[in-house]
Amino acid sequence: MNSSPELSVVLPCRNQADHIGRVLESYAGPLEAAGIDYELVAVPNACSDNTAEIVRKLGAQDPRLRCVELDASGWGRAVLAGIAASRGRVLCYTNSARTDPAEIPQLYERYQQAAPCLAKVRRSNRQAPLREIGSFLYNLEARLLFSVASQDVNGTPKILSRETWEQIHPSRVDDLIDLELLATAARAGVRVVEMTTEGFKRHGGRSSTNFGSAWRMYAGAVGMRLRGIGRPGAREHSG
């Protein structure tokens, strides 16, 4: 593929060998039906199975799919690497294990109607009481510390223009990249448009979210606030 596509969809993935092949193949139908010129940028990171090998083989068969393999882990690191390798005018990143591909064209239409903006999904059902409570507390923290009005900070897909991405310029390499993105967007006056969905069952595997990771996010958000992240001119620097 030599020309730049309209939409780049970045899909971080880790140890998803049992389902990543069918997941990646499932994006073609909805995106083609919507007439969207797209590319998929899959980012296997710190995989201990053959996820990357599966992605590479599929990419060899379809030039719209590229593999950006990372040795190090980190949700934010994978998102940043995928965005850096992408070529689209409009950028999207999402959780490859928990996204219904049919949501991408729907959200892209919302984005087009409201552009310039940051369009994202808000899940109305996380399918687990403890997740609901944990998410409520995290979103409340985001509102109190950063004036982020979203009821689902971590909800993906997220879609925005390359220009808006470069304006916001997130840099977190961990799970806090979504909060950094929305906090900086709020300070920059970027409009955020949410599309409510019921939620989507995992394609396979198990979530890595637990009490420990949740606590790191709560504490990390406080650390971001103390360092002034989300204020005009502030930038996060994560190693």
pLDDT in tens, 179-191: 999 999 999 999 9
Q: What is the pLDDT of residue 208?
A: 59
- For residues 208-226, give the mean pLDDT: 86
pLDDT > 60? residue 239: no
Domain layout of the chain by residue ranges: 7-226
* Average pLDDT of every residue of the chain: 91
21: Cβ–Cβ under 8 A, 6 or more apart, which residues? Answer: 54, 58
Give the CATH fold of the 7-226 domain: Spore Coat Polysaccharide Biosynthesis Protein SpsA; Chain A (3.90.550)
- For residues 103-114, give the mean pLDDT: 98
End-to-end CA distance of the chain: 33
Contact 152, 121 (CB under 8 A): yes
pLDDT digits (tens, 9 = 90+) for 146-167: 999 999 999 999 999 999 999 9
205: Cβ–Cβ under 8 A, 6 or more apart, which residues? Answer: 15, 16, 18, 19, 97
**Residue 234 or 43, more confident:** 43
Question: In the structure encoding, which two tokens stand for residue 85, read together?
Answer: 């390798």
Q: What is the pLDDT of residue 204?
A: 65
Closest CA to 12 of 218, 239, 208: 208
